[in-house]
Amino acid sequence: MLLRAALLYLLGGDFVFAGNADDWKPRSVYQILTDRFARTDGSTTAPCNAEDGITCGGTWKGITDHLDYIQGMGFDAIMISPITKNVNGTVRYGDAYHGYWPQNLYELNHNFGTRRDLLDLSKAVHDRGMYLMVDVVINNMAYITNGSNPAKDVDYSTFVPFNDQKYFHPYCKITNYDDYEMAQKCWTGDKLVPLPDLNTEDAKVTQMMAAWVRGLISNYSVDGLRIDAAKHVDTDYLRNVVKASGVFAIGEVYEKNPKIICEYQNYLPSLLNYPVYYAMIEAFSKGNMSVLVEAVEKVTVVCKDTFVLAAFSENHDLPRFPSFKKELSLAKNVIAFTILSDGIPMYYQGQEQHFSGDGVPENREALWLSKYNTRSPLYNFTASVNQIRRQAIRVDRDYLEHPLYPLSNENGISAFRKGHDGRHIIVVYSRHGEDGASRSIKIPRCGHQHLEFTEITTCRNHTLDDWGALRVTVYNGLPKIFFPANQMGGSGLCGFGDWPISGSKKKGEGKSNIDKTHWTNEIPVNPKWGRRPGREGSRPVHRAKAKNSKKKKRPKISGSGKTWSGWPMPVLVSSLVTLHFEL
């Protein structure tokens, strides 16, 4: 097997490690900006002013030493900054601390560490059962001109392997980013640091980039790629480079329009879900929850596979959410939606510490200055949300393939559900913030009548009524996350043990004591969703018992010690065992 893989690599054939789309769907990814995550010396006081835009000293060794911090939040994959050597030098707004100004693809960025350090990080990640994703720049190289003419003053011989002008498009400035031909053939960057644009229509350029990507994957056992600036390269080039990598890839296409985003699934498996990102920010910062409901519906209809898109609410290119609204309750809503909506959660370092940088470079704070506080409210909240997502996958692997479904939307409170009936998560989101008044609501079509749910942030139990409706009070703008109580066994939440097979005790305080409730507006059916979830449980059921009928024995639900009708016993999903090796 190993010999065959090595031969495939040497011959340029398709070479696949563990990281295909199905491997990545259950993962939850923690995005690391390498220079700002952790230092080799372990310092939590080393100065780093994000506004200066200069190297602060984060390393691969620092990441290795702080994997416990990441795994403690429930993340089982990390994404790190580009690893290649960048241009040296400083301009008025900083240097290449971020890793996105490549000069030599075949040399590592020594600011981040040595080859041994990167190999050790990869091994440590995989030893924990986690995955490693690397951000890659395949659109351009970088050159510091400090204001001189980019059309004349770039020394192409400094680039490796693209050491000749023939590999690049002639210089032109992008004046309209909606013009895709211009965006793909003109240069990004500016007059201080222009980013010479590779001629991605050229077969030789494609071959050279594909060879480098294959080497990156094999040398460091990389499980997945994030493709930076995917919008700016030729689509055939994009498809061929991703195919050559042999692993799962997420592309960055900075677009609000779902049709444009979804079109790119013809060229690579996944995209950052910008349409839902923009709607999420508007919903929780401006209070327009209807926009979020509509965006979820549009992406579900237009994209051929929403379950593989990357769900995110912050990254190194965008203002952090607390720069719009500072309330912790709203940040919790945003984090819950990021992790529990359709797709692969991608969470940016510092969200758990409620960092609030309002754009580049302020949003690239040094995490070590937080002293890696594992008692912060958002750190523990993130851990709980990742735990309930993992539990939903554990009791029903098909959870990942079940579309997010909006149940209701009224007065700034929206409810969504995801998963098959009886093993589904219901989340109630609020845009009201910490000063919002308490509101009792009644949400329709939440499941079979009398199904009991545990609300994981309070550990109180709630029972659906005869109509399959959920009565709940939303207060202080906090999200409410519900999961069937008889499926909580092994979740590690609310007093349930961590991963037992059966017999967990039921915790909670029984039915919620809500008398005055208000029916919320139900969302119209979307044809792509098919029959409404909860249809069978949306009306009271009264069945006459047949004479002399015998009661059928019902199967036990794994991890609960209870019986429940309507579904077979959930299948426990075996852990994926991945063999990684270095050629």
CB neighbour list of residue 132: distance below 8 Å, 6 or more residues apart: 77, 78, 80, 121, 122, 125, 126, 220, 221, 222, 223, 224
Pick the closest to residue 414 from 538, 516, 522 (CA basis): 522
Annotated catalytic residue within 23, 76, 197, 228:
228
Helix (H, G, I), strand (E, B) or coil at 317: coil
364 annotated binding-site participant? yes
Can you tell me which residue has the tokens 């195919």?
243
DSSP state of 281: H
- C-alpha 272/C-alpha 345 separation (Å) is 10
Measured from the Cβ of residue 138, the count of other Cβ atoms closer than 10 Å reads 25
Burial class (CB in 10 A: 0-12, 13-18, 19+), 476: middle
Per-residue DSSP letters for 27-66?
A: --EEE--GGGT-BTT--SS----GGG-----B-HHHHHHT
Residue 44 CA to residue 51 CA, distance in Å, equals 18
Rounded CA separation 141/83 (Å): 14
Give the residue among 123, 99, 76 at the shortest CA–CA distance from 221: 123
CA distance 402 to 530: 11
What is the C-alpha separation between 120 and 130, in angstroms, rounded?
A: 14
| CA torsion angle 26 31 34 39 (round to 10) | -80
What phi and psi values does residue 357 have, to the nearest 5 degrees?
Answer: -55, 135
**Can you list the positions of beta strands (E) in 402-553?**
405-410, 413-418, 425-430, 439-443, 452-455, 460-463, 470-474, 480-484
Q: Determine if the peptide bond prior to 361 is cis (ω within 30°).
A: yes
Q: Give me the DSSP letters along 402-418.
A: SPPEEEEEETTEEEEEE
Residue 101 known to bind ligand: yes
Q: Is 228 a catalytic residue?
A: yes
426, 113 in Cβ contact below 8 A? no
CA distance 69 to 433: 28
Which H or E element spans position 181?
helix 180-185
Nearest alpha-carbon partner for 396 in 435, 424, 428: 424
Of the residues 197, 252, 342, 396, only one is catalytic, namely 252
Q: List residues forming the annotated binding site for substrate.
A: 101, 226, 317, 364
Q: List residues forming the annotated binding site.
A: 101, 226, 317, 364
Catalytic site positions: 228, 252
